[in-house]
Amino acid sequence: MAHLHPTGWQEMAVTGTAAREIETLTYLESTLASAPYRIYHGVHWTNVENGFSAYGEIDFIIVAPNGRMLLIEQKSGFLNETQEGLVRNYEGKPRKVANHIMRSIKGLSERFGSELSIDYLLYCPDYTVRNANLAGIDPRHIIDATSKDRLAQVVRDILPITDPKPGEQFDKVTRFLGNMLSLRPDPSSMIGNAAQMVARLSGGLATWARRLEFTPFRLHVVGTAGSGKTQLALAEYAAAIDAGLSPLYVCYNRPLADHIERLVPPGGKVASFHMLSDAFMRAQDQVPEYGAPGVWEQIEAQMTASPLPGEWRYDVVIVDEGQDFSPAWRDILLRMLKDDGRAIWLEDPNQNLYGRAMVPLPGWVTLHSNTNYRSPRQIVDMLASIGATASPVEAGSPFKGADIEELMYPEGDTEAMLAQTRKAVTLCLGAGFARHDIAIASFRGREKSAILNLDKLSDAHTLKSFTGVYDLFGNPEYREGGLLAESVYRFKGQSAPAVIFTEIDFAEIDERVLRKLFVGMTRARLKLVLVLSERAGQQLLDRM
């Protein structure tokens, strides 16, 4: 099926020409849904470095499985037909449409560096070209208002699908486009919801941090939620694989590790620290007895002292969720780094749910990133008003967001809490979110949660939640259901368009409560519903 990059365009409120491009995206998504194309678009996304569209004058790029590209230049509104061809006025200056298209093709070809098969279309859905022979463009490459219903068919004619399986040229072209546009997937929006992806063009951590040069390369990134920390990790990991090096990606959260492993290119190793420890022990022909007292202390001691075989030394070591690590874990992982290797440590003190002291990293270069690009501005503002951020967090999301809704229940009344959670689901569905767009996050851990041990909220709302059991291959087992439900601990590193943060109850606000609120609330990309006890709600109100 067709894949559009970046996603998130359906959620944008737009006007003017951008609205017309959104209409085209909607049309392409529906009419080419069954075709294995890769569709790139530039709607809303700008290049932070230069302040203009990173695609130049290209509105859409469609790539077929054989690697052949089709550029679509959309011109909404009125055009001028002159003796020199079609002309569009930009800021009062006439510009030839044909020149823009040819320049775009030339630029792509030169940057690709080898043979690149490119075709093009001029799409003007609002204008009828009266004399196509004077347009300066081959009439066969023009789709105007009289033929706009044929756009999808013309795409199929230009890019016929002879073999739906992507070939070597497809991989080269899509990698080229990804590098040129600095598109990086954000795993926080993909874990538990693989159909969702947020991509951001150059200008984030994935661009700036990798431009730093120092020896030895020890980079400590302190970044808030949604600032792009894991995107940087993905860029570093992919660059290592491309260079023929061996990367190691280690995080604390098992769901994050499971998903990252599916997201990165083959090669290297991705694991939570506990997964890595288990693999290390088994490689030494030792099966840990996890029920034995002090087993983890014994494992850490062995990983600290045992000789490391060559396959346990890495060129790049990436630590994600570093705020949850300990100094002993730091030393173990740095032992696995080759002498001339690169190390990146990513952390957010505001997401320290386990109350651990920050791991000292003496001699490391520290980079701070305090802009949250993911959470709607209303969420960032509310977290600041209740004092949930240890340092100022800037709101960088283009979304103001729907109003944060609060549903309260008497503390200790489980049935009332469940009823309010069901109402929250109804509110999200009524706002236009599909079930796969909604995630339920519990303020409580799985063992103490009422919701996370249920199969369903109601006959209409079944729950997909972790059972606490792993299969023979070490994969977590989930209940079958339509609504994802996780604890705030396991949901850290994830996000969803609509989040219902429920079972929020506390006698008083302390630092741990504020961190849990920060993590749970910043999981929402568009809509947030808080289901909280009356006493918790009153305390939040008193702080605002």
Predicted TM-score of the model (pTM) = 0.66
Residues 109 and 152 in one domain: yes
Average the pLDDT over each of 7-11, 32-36, 278-282, 486-490 and give the range with the smallest value. 7-11
Q: Is residue 197 part of a domain?
A: no
Average pLDDT, integer, range 197-226: 74
Residues 41 and 133 in one domain: yes
**What is the model's pLDDT at position 494?**
83
Decide the pairing of beta strands 80-82 and 85-90: antiparallel
Q: What is the pLDDT of residues 367-379, one digit of tens each?
A: 998 888 778 888 9
Residues 58 and 97 in one domain: yes
Q: Is residue 190 part of a domain?
A: no
Asked if 136 contacts 88 with a C-beta cutoff of 8 angstroms, the reply is: no
Say how far apart CA 193 and CA 196 lie, in whole Å.
Answer: 6
**What is the model's pLDDT at position 370?**
86
Average pLDDT, integer, range 276-296: 87
Residues 85 and 144 in one domain: yes
**Domain-ending residue, one of 344, 369, 394:** 369
Range of the domain at 127: 3-178
**What is the model's pLDDT at position 190?**
38
**Domain-ending residue, one of 369, 399, 425:** 369
Secondary structure of 142-173 in HEC code, one letter for each residue: EECCCCHHHHHHHHHHHCCCCCCCCCHHHHHH
Q: Which helix (H) or strand (E) holds 230?
A: helix 229-242
**What is the model's pLDDT at position 472?**
62
Lookup: tokens for 118: 């490119």
**What is the model's pLDDT at position 13?**
43
Q: Is residue 121 part of a domain?
A: yes
Residues 69 and 134 in one domain: yes
**What is the model's pLDDT at position 98?**
84
Q: Is residue 196 part of a domain?
A: no
CATH classification at residue 126: 3.40.91
**What is the model's pLDDT at position 87?**
83
Average the pLDDT over each of 174-183, 276-285, 350-359 and give the range with the smallest value. 174-183
Residues 411 and 497 in one domain: yes
State the chain's mean pLDDT as an integer.
83
Q: Is residue 446 part of a domain?
A: yes
Please check the confidence at residue 261 and state whether its pLDDT lies above 90.
Answer: no
Please check the confidence at residue 67 and state whether its pLDDT lies above 50.
Answer: yes
Lookup: tokens for 382: 């509310």
Q: Is residue 187 part of a domain?
A: no
Residues 10 and 84 in one domain: yes
Domain count, the chain: 3
Residues 32 and 152 in one domain: yes
Residues 408 and 322 in one domain: no
Residues 360 and 390 in one domain: no
CATH classification at residue 326: 3.40.50.300
**Domain-ending residue, one of 342, 369, 396:** 369
User: How many Cα atoms sit within 13 Å of 356 on the Cβ side?
Assistant: 19
Q: Is residue 404 part of a domain?
A: yes
Average the pLDDT over each of 16-30, 48-62, 500-514 and give the range with the smallest value. 48-62
Residue 350 vs residue 470, higher pLDDT = 350
Residues 119 and 210 in one domain: no
Average pLDDT, integer, range 496-509: 93
Beta-bridge partners for 74: 123
Residues 43 and 162 in one domain: yes
Q: What is the DSSP string of 459-490?
A: TTEEEE-EEEEE-TTSPEEE---SEEEEEHHH
Q: What is the pLDDT of residues 125-168, one digit of tens each?
A: 888 888 888 778 888 889 988 999 999 999 999 999 888 888 88
Residue 382 vs residue 59, higher pLDDT = 382
Q: Is residue 342 part of a domain?
A: yes
Average pLDDT, integer, range 179-206: 46
Asked if 159 contacts 32 with a C-beta cutoff of 8 angstroms, the reply is: no
